[in-house]
Amino acid sequence: MNATDLRLYHAAGSPNSRRVRIYLAEKGISMPMIPVDLGAKEQFSDAYAAVNPRRVVPTLVLGDGTSIGEVPAIWRYLEEANPSPPLLGGDPREKALIQMWERRMELEGFAAVMETVRNRAEGLKGRAISGPHGYEQIPALVERGKQRVADFHVDLEALLATRKFVASERFSVADITALVTIDFATKALEMGIPLENAATRQWYDKVSARPSMAA
């Protein structure tokens, strides 16, 4: 893979963009990074809509002009083109387990934080769901979302009490999503790791010390 033929549209404050930046850093892949100013609503410009009609970040653009949106799809392309180190797994068993646990981190953690934030933030009125269409906020989802985040912390603690990393005995994209979720919840909702969650804290300290986490 010639990374100079690729470019990544991203936003500095976007948790999804961060998931891809961490992955790139772990792989040692460098490519042109094109910032999209979400505060200025640049994602809704005609120019960016031509890159990603869903009007979200990140988007990976290939040398032939193909656009790939959605974090797991971007990871998949990059992993197939640059398989070492295998962050999506080595053999079929490990690949399936990593995909399963990463999906759970996204659905049970990341999505819960996103739902809570988008349904309560003043600046996201009329934008409760990301994408090209406008949706009104539902205040009742905020309290439910906070409960989902609290449950995520409980479940993650139980999981990490049994293993070194989220999906297996080595670092993977499941750990990336879990850590970004925790940082997102801490910053946006002040719902960081509970003090009593010793296993999660040990894992978090170990993973957050990786150089890639500064990406």
Contact assessment for residue 139 and residue 146, using Cβ atoms and an 8 Å cutoff: no
pTM: 0.97
- The pLDDT of residue 168: 87
Please report the domains of the chain, with CATH numbers, ordered by start residue: 3-81 (3.40.30.10), 92-214 (1.20.1050.10)
Distances (CA, A) of 170 to 86, 138, 173, 189: 10, 39, 10, 29
SS3 38: coil
Query: 3-state SS of 128-184?
Result: CCCCCCCECCCCHHHHHHHHHHHHHHHHHHHHHCCCCCCCCCCCCHHHHHHHHHHHH
Residues 153-201: tens digit of each pLDDT: 999 999 999 999 999 899 999 999 999 999 999 999 999 999 999 999 9
Determine contact, residues 63/5, Cβ cutoff 8 Å: yes
How would residue 110 be classed by pLDDT, with cut points 50, 70 and 90? Answer: very high
User: In whole angstroms, what is the distance from residue 132 CA to residue 154 CA?
Assistant: 34
Residue 146 pLDDT > 80: yes
